[in-house]
Chains A and B, each alone.
Chain A
Amino acid sequence: MEKIKTSSAAKRSGENDKPGSLPYIWRRLKKNPGAMLGLIFVTVLFLLSFVSPFICRYDYQEIVMKSRFTLPCMEHLLGCDEVGRDILSRILYGAKYTLSIGVLSVVVSCILGVILGAVAGYFGGKIDTLIMRFLDVFQAFPNILLAIAISAVLGAGFDKVIYAIGISGIPGFARMMRANILTVRNSEFIEAATSINCSTFRIIVHHVIPNAISPLIVQVAMGIASAALSASGLSFLGFGVQAPTPEWGAMLASARGYMRDYPHMVIIPGLFIMMTVLSFNLVGDAIRDALDPKLRD
């Protein structure tokens, strides 16, 4: 409660937010045009993907054989695919897959990673060694390979991609959280909390994690970017979301056979993947800059 009070008090005083606090980050973020563009792009895309069935002229799964391979034109702004489905409708409808896989898999790796990292960092000793050695094993694989291995076991599908990518992202979050906890653990306010008989759980949740949160936000933004990238790769290989679902990676995979004659089918989904990932990267980068004391305004 006290934390909320102080942060709202800081908000009232405007420019005097504590560096590293959420309002402070937001204030710095607003000054960064790249990050704002990224945020706007992702938000618009997200909203459009839900309203697209109502505003698009064509249904995303409507097959019209006579408009096969239509190049981008006024009728079909982004052209049509190999069975005459309108690519723009498919892209907009498919946006929710890329975005939600990115976000949800980071939620999975963030929650599990933060718990593991916080426990390892706070308790130290044998528990720490055990958890860190366990994570070493996970980090013995290149990330995408681990995701492929997990999805080979789970099979293809929307929810399975989330687990595959989410699990392969755990070590990164856990390591970062542990490092943060280690720096916070020995500070005086933790000692104070211990001395007034706070439970360990309360100390971790109310005192340790809030003070280690800002690097976490950077990692989340960057994590969404790389998760979206891995997801498109998995779908492209056929291990992720599968055609005919208009996930962008899956669209690329099915367009691949026609790329020699109809490059637009390959160029467009990839462009959207790139812009989405770029948006998250821009936001992540801006938050990192906002947290960097050397770059403080």
Chain B
Amino acid sequence: MIRYIGKRLLQMIPILLTVAILIFTLMYFVPGDPVEIMLGDTATPEQIAAARAKFGLDKPYLIRLWNYLVGIVHLDFGTSYLQGSSVASELFLRFPRTLTLASLSILFTIVVGIPIGIQCAIHANKLSDKIWMFLTMLGNSMPGFWLALLLVILFSVKLGLLPSNGTGGLEYYILPVVANSIGSLADIARQTRSSMLEVIRSDYVVTARAKGLPEKEVIWKHALPNALIPIITVCGSRFGFMLGGTVIIESVFSIPGIGMYMVNGINSRDYPVVQGSIIYIAFIFAFIMLITDLIYAYVDPRIKAQYVKSVKKA
């Protein structure tokens, strides 16, 4: 198992390296000179040249790329043009907020979405199933940020129950989490329904019923674990999706996370900030995918057996 984790971590290195190179290159070709934007129209050519030298912008592409990559290895994502602060320290400061939002969202998604899917599978093609399937499709088609605005209008403006922006206690996260989860929740519910439907007709479920187990036990102990693999895939990719999706939700609720940092960076053409945020999220995303794969192995003994075999062979 440890061997497998190590192998997967090694496999991640070239991908992450290419991600960093790709983003750096993209940002390198952005039109407009950041230094001129930063200093404004009144700057003299000498001032501009001095600033370029200070940020290392006067060096050729390859040297800048190399310096940047070496920096990332030392967890240094460069310096913000505008604030002059270290991008890395800002990212580390903001990441917990983004992570909290994304984790609470995926938790909410799982806790609500999977039971809905199971209920639909049990009552497949009955009226309740059809209504839920329509609702999930509606949820899947709804822009999360629009739901966010609607929730703010209802719960903050009209009812005055929940705060509409900022950070603080758990109550500040309720509306963002609901808005951030809606699409994923719908997706997970549908995925759960279809993979439960496949499992529910299998022989071992019939056996479990035949030996007189209560229906609850049949569903939760015999059917669900076997239906979990595709659900976990969706959860993993959705978690990553949420880390990206928080970009919009954070800016609706003014949560100072990585997403908002990035949006502000784009608007003020502060490219080290944009570059750092994107690469950082891509790294986190890659780790989440790795963890998803490990959870597979934990849930599905067949996959675990494969590792054990391959280790023995080696």
* Interface residue ranges, A against B (CB under 8 Å): 133, 136-137, 140-145, 148-150, 152-153, 155, 225, 229, 232-233, 236-239, 249, 252, 256, 259-260, 263, 266-267, 270, 273-275, 277-278, 281-282, 285
Q: From DSSP, what is the main secondary structure of chain B's interface residues?
A: helix
**Complex alpha-carbon distance, A27 and B96, angstroms:** 52
B242-291 contacts to A (CB < 8 Å)? 242-245, 247-248, 251, 262-263, 266-267, 274, 278, 281-282, 285-286
Interface residue from B142, B153, B245, B285 paired with A141 (Cβ < 8 Å): B285
* Cβ-defined contact, B241 with A142, below 8 A: yes
What residue of chain B has the Cβ atom nearest to residue A275's Cβ? B141
* Cβ-defined contact, A233 with B143, below 8 A: yes
* Cβ-defined contact, A232 with B143, below 8 A: yes
What residue of chain A has the Cβ atom nearest to residue B30's Cβ? A153
Interface residue from A137, A237, A281 paired with B19 (Cβ < 8 Å): A137
Give, as a whole number of angstroms, the nearest-CB distance from A270 to chain B: 4
Can you list 24 contacts pairing A with B, beta carbon distance less than 8 Å? A133-B15, A141-B244, A141-B278, A141-B281, A141-B282, A142-B243, A144-B241, A148-B266, A149-B278, A152-B266, A153-B27, A232-B146, A233-B144, A233-B145, A236-B145, A267-B150, A270-B142, A270-B146, A274-B138, A277-B141, A278-B141, A281-B140, A282-B137, A285-B137
* Cβ-defined contact, B282 with A140, below 8 A: yes
**Residues in B whose Cβ lies below 8 Å from that of A256:** 149
What residue of chain A has the Cβ atom nearest to residue B286's Cβ? A140
**Complex alpha-carbon distance, A148 and B141, angstroms:** 20
* Cβ-defined contact, B244 with A145, below 8 A: yes
What residue of chain B has the Cβ atom nearest to residue A253's Cβ? B145
**Complex alpha-carbon distance, A44 and B286, angstroms:** 43
* Cβ-defined contact, A142 with B285, below 8 A: yes
* Cβ-defined contact, B26 with A274, below 8 A: no
What residue of chain B has the Cβ atom nearest to residue A271's Cβ? B146
Whether A266 touches B243, Cβ cut-off 8 Å, given contacts A149-B26, A152-B30, is no
Whether A259 touches B285, Cβ cut-off 8 Å, given contacts A229-B141, A229-B143, A237-B248, is no
**Residues in A whose Cβ lies below 8 Å from that of B240:** 142
What residue of chain A has the Cβ atom nearest to residue B137's Cβ? A281
What residue of chain B has the Cβ atom nearest to residue A225's Cβ? B141
What residue of chain A has the Cβ atom nearest to residue B31's Cβ? A155
Give, as a whole number of angstroms, the nearest-CB distance from A31 to chain B: 16
**Residues in B whose Cβ lies below 8 Å from that of A274:** 138, 141-143, 146
Nearest first, the 9 A-B pairs at minimum CB distance are A142-B244, A270-B146, A145-B244, A278-B141, A277-B141, A152-B266, A137-B18, A263-B153, A144-B244
**Residues in B whose Cβ lies below 8 Å from that of A144:** 241, 244-245, 247-248
* Interface residue ranges, B against A (CB under 8 Å): 14-16, 18-19, 22-23, 26-27, 29-31, 137-138, 140-146, 149-150, 152-153, 157, 240-245, 247-248, 251, 262-263, 266-267, 274, 278, 281-282, 285-286
Give, as a whole number of angstroms, the nearest-CB distance from B239 to chain A: 9
**Complex alpha-carbon distance, A256 and B152, angstroms:** 11
Give, as a whole number of angstroms, the nearest-CB distance from B196 to chain A: 15
**Complex alpha-carbon distance, A8 and B232, angstroms:** 44
**Complex alpha-carbon distance, A278 and B286, angstroms:** 31
Give, as a whole number of angstroms, the nearest-CB distance from B186 to chain A: 10
**Residues in A whose Cβ lies below 8 Å from that of B19:** 137, 140-141
* Cβ-defined contact, B140 with A259, below 8 A: no
What residue of chain B has the Cβ atom nearest to residue A138's Cβ? B22
Give, as a whole number of angstroms, the nearest-CB distance from B188 to chain A: 16
**Complex alpha-carbon distance, A274 and B262, angstroms:** 27
* Cβ-defined contact, A145 with B247, below 8 A: yes
* Cβ-defined contact, A143 with B267, below 8 A: no
What residue of chain B has the Cβ atom nearest to residue A141's Cβ? B282
**Residues in A whose Cβ lies below 8 Å from that of B23:** 149
Question: Which of B241, B262, B263, B282 lies at the interface centre, i.e. has the most chain A CB atoms within 10 A of its CB?
Answer: B282
Question: Which of B153, B266, B285 lies at the interface centre, i.e. has the most chain A CB atoms within 10 A of its CB?
Answer: B266
**Residues in B whose Cβ lies below 8 Å from that of A153:** 26-27, 29-30
**Residues in B whose Cβ lies below 8 Å from that of A133:** 14-15
**Complex alpha-carbon distance, A232 and B147, angstroms:** 13
Whether A266 touches B153, Cβ cut-off 8 Å, given contacts A144-B244, A149-B274, is yes
**Complex alpha-carbon distance, A137 and B31, angstroms:** 24
Whether A238 touches B267, Cβ cut-off 8 Å, given contacts A260-B157, A267-B150, is yes
Excluding A142-B240, A252-B146, 18 further A-B contacts by CB distance (< 8 Å) are: A137-B22, A140-B15, A140-B285, A141-B19, A142-B242, A142-B243, A144-B244, A149-B26, A150-B26, A153-B30, A233-B248, A236-B143, A236-B248, A239-B266, A259-B157, A266-B150, A270-B146, A274-B142
